[in-house]
Amino acid sequence: MQVITKVAELRRALADVRNADKRIGFVPTMGYLHDGHLALISASRGHCDVTVVSIFVNPTQFGPNEDLSRYPRDFARDEALCRKARVSIIFAPSAEEIYPAQFESFVEPGELAKPLCGAFRPGHFRAVATVVCKLFNMVQPDVAYFGQKDFQQCAVIRRMTVDLNLPIEIVTVPTVREPDGLAMSSRNRYLSPDERGRSLAISRGLFAAAQEFASGERDAATLIALARKHLERVDRLQYLELVDTGTLRIAESPLRYPAVLCVAAYVGSTRLIDNVALSGRHRSQIRK
């Protein structure tokens, strides 16, 4: 496994891979890896000849009073996990390598970036789209892998890839959860034991709505109300929205097309996000 910090060195290393006509998979991360990241790496290794993992805590996507300074970092641990997972290359650039002096060009996402997290984190998806686009240009992968937990991020990146004619397949890997249902996140380490217990309200609310949907309920307000009852245990519910999977617009009742129930909530001072897809595939829910 190679650990590379410079774009020029990365391009030299991958030139040989392309000349050998090998398929390159890419897993962009902010480090402090967990089983969710390892699932992305496994998916890449299962379909690609070479897997590149980037580890870069992107400063531009953290807003005022967000947790950039205390975001968890442990490169030695990440390196060991990547080596064990048989990653080919770790790309771990500095902020100066990604954003050189006088950097001023950004990718401006559209409507998909406005609702949900976008409504509460101005500029967040602009920063995400920009850094991912830059990483795509640096790695030039055939396939890139993202987790479904960050559903809106996946939608923004997929749209950007299409709009900018980037020759990259975007693969979304199902959310990996702890045995009790909590979605894996690097931020889970911030939770105290009491907060960790109360955070289960998030997945339990989503699962309750999903079960009701599976039983035939198609009224959006009913599904949201069921999830909201469980979410009374969180300290602050930022949003709970049922949206159309393709557009992220508020889903209309009765639900006829695939939708996703998305939540962002604070438990203590930790902001957690999660979602569950509601996409029964009977005739009335398939787009024409």
The residues carrying an active-site annotation are 37
The C-alpha atoms of residue 184 and residue 206 are separated, in whole angstroms, by: 15
Phi, psi of 230, deg, nearest 5: -70, -35
Burial of 281 (0-12, 13-18, 19+ CB in 10 A): exposed
Helix (H) / strand (E) element for 91: namely strand 89-91
CB atoms within 10 A of CB 265: 23
On the CB side of 177, how many CA atoms lie within 13 Å of its CA? Answer: 19
Residues 120, 125, 126, 132: what is their CA dihedral angle, to the nearest 10 degrees? Answer: 160
Query: Is residue 229 within 8 Å of residue 239, measured between CB atoms?
Result: no
Pick the closest to residue 277 from 267, 256, 255, 262 (CA basis): 262
Residue 237: Cβ-neighbour burial (10 angstroms; 0-12, 13-18, 19+): middle
